[in-house]
Amino acid sequence: MFKKVLAMFMLAVFFSVPARAELKVDIIAGATEPISIAVQKFETVGDVSSKDSAMIRDVVEADLKSTGLFRIVSRDALPEFVEMGSMPDFNLWSAIKAQVLVQAKLTAKSGGQYDLEFYVWDVNGKEQIEAQSLIASKKSARRLAHIMADAIYERLTGEIGYFDTQIVFIAETGPISNRVKRMAIMDQDGYGMRYLSDKDTFVMSPHFSPNMQTIVFLSYYNDDPMVWTLDLETGEQRRLGQFGGMNFAPRFSPDGTKVALSLVKNGITHIYEYDIESKALKQLTFGNSLNTSPSYSPDGKKMAFNSDRSGNQQIYVLDLETGKVNRITYGAGRYATPAWSPDGQFIAFTKMADDTFYIGIMDPRGRNEKILAGGWYMEAPSWAPGSRRLVYYETEKALDGIERISHIRSVDITGQNIYDIPLPDDVNGVEPTWSPKLP
């Protein structure tokens, strides 16, 4: 399904300059002045589509701008065109307050491939700080743009980029009284949405495997709610196992060898762990309470989940080695849908209090709770690679009391720069999950 992209790192050329502070974005601060970036028109060599070169430039600018950390310098303000291999006149770029200059050249190669070379210059420091060459098929030109944007983002922030990723979600169409729910996938910026399931089968809760080869999800195939897997390469769907009861809320383990899920037996819902190779099913929670929404820690040693064992819905952490369970939420309201960040520093959650839904984060011990967004109904936070952004969905309260619109939104961990990920006009998006970086 995915075209492999070969990244070849070139040795950056550094020039002797006086000692200075390194150009770096502080992305932890709640309000930081964006770094201004100028992206030149791309040089082209050979049979290069002018649409492709313009598109790659547009996507790189859009990716960087979407973070809220960068300001794109107006193209009309660019003072000169600097050919690849030539030194910029840094005084000219400083005059328009550009802090970073990006040059690029797109070359058409034999076999239907593109070679994308780009340089990144620190204008104030008068030095080249990044140089790369990327090769991919022409059909993957848009991915080249996302990978280039990731490289720039990573160089300027020191964090893992998330532009070359996808989001799987449930696309709802039709009136509220007869909604069709289909599994769909799109790039993180909303481009290229396509359906992964048909309109005749009700599906929910899709999640990626760590290697991006498989999606695990809940399907009501033949009105039987069971966990299934979808191979993204072949399109083949398989039922995960025969568990003797309704099962839902599946999540892959960090190594991809197990799936945690909720299973209803004798009217009680507990969390189990299914070993994909041995097909062994292991019960993880016990008692008479409802336990669901499992989320592994990045090292696979712990699991966050929500349970009503204390009398109302709260988040707990299970030590998978000892079996010990600790409650971590004690704030006012109910807590649900925990999601452990890829770096292990946060657990995202949904909170319900005072007739309002909230998306928030806290540390793995339940401390330092921070609310990022609030509204009439929102749920299902999922992390981007790098642990700096979350995706979730929000449903607006219907003015007529009938029709409702659901948006997929993204938010920074500072609670700033919330934006909608565009969907087709007739599609409502719910239950989004952010992928790892594409292979």
Least Cα distance to 55 among 193, 194, 191 occurs for 191
Residue 24: the pLDDT is: 63
> Tokens at residue 393, please?
């969905």
Which residues of the chain form CATH 2.120.10.30? 166-434
Distance from the first to the final alpha carbon of the chain: 10
Q: DSSP secondary-structure letter at 221?
A: G
Cα separation, 143 vs 149, whole angstroms? 10
**Residue 105: how many other CB atoms lie within 10 Å:** 20
Cα separation, 273 vs 276, whole angstroms? 9
Instruction: Look at the alpha carbons of 249, 253, 257, 263 in this order and tell me if their dihedral is positive or negative.
Output: negative
Instruction: Look at the alpha carbons of 169, 170, 174, 175 in this order and tell me if their dihedral is positive or negative.
Output: negative
* Bridge pairing between strands 419-420 and 406-412: antiparallel
337-362: pLDDT as tens digits: 999 999 999 999 999 999 999 999 99
8-58: pLDDT as tens digits: 333 232 222 333 346 666 555 544 789 999 999 999 999 999 999 999 999
Superfamily, domain 6-157:
TolB, N-terminal domain (3.40.50.10070)
Residue 436: the pLDDT is: 96
Cα dihedral 48, 52, 56, 62 in deg (nearest 10): 160
> Tokens at residue 221, please?
């195939």
Place of tokens 């080869």: 213
What average pLDDT does range 122-130 have in this prediction?
A: 97
Pick the CATH number of 166-434 from 2.120.10.30, 3.40.50.300, 1.20.210.10, 3.50.50.100: 2.120.10.30
Which residues of the chain form CATH 3.40.50.10070? 6-157
Residue, of 404 and 142, whose pLDDT is higher: 142
Cα separation, 24 vs 35, whole angstroms? 9
Q: Report the amino acid identity of residue 180.
A: V
Cα separation, 108 vs 45, whole angstroms? 6
206-258: pLDDT as tens digits: 999 999 999 999 998 888 889 999 999 999 999 998 787 888 999 999 999 99
What average pLDDT does range 103-117 have in this prediction?
A: 96
Q: DSSP secondary-structure letter at 268?
A: E
Spatial contact of 252 and 258, defined as CB atoms under 8 Å apart: yes
Q: DSSP secondary-structure letter at 246?
A: -
Q: Give the contacts of 224 (CB within 8 A, at least 6 positions apart).
A: none
375-407: pLDDT as tens digits: 999 999 999 999 999 999 999 887 766 668 899
Residue 21: the pLDDT is: 44
> Tokens at residue 343, please?
């770096």
Report the chain's mean pLDDT, rounded to a whole number.
91
Residue 22: the pLDDT is: 62
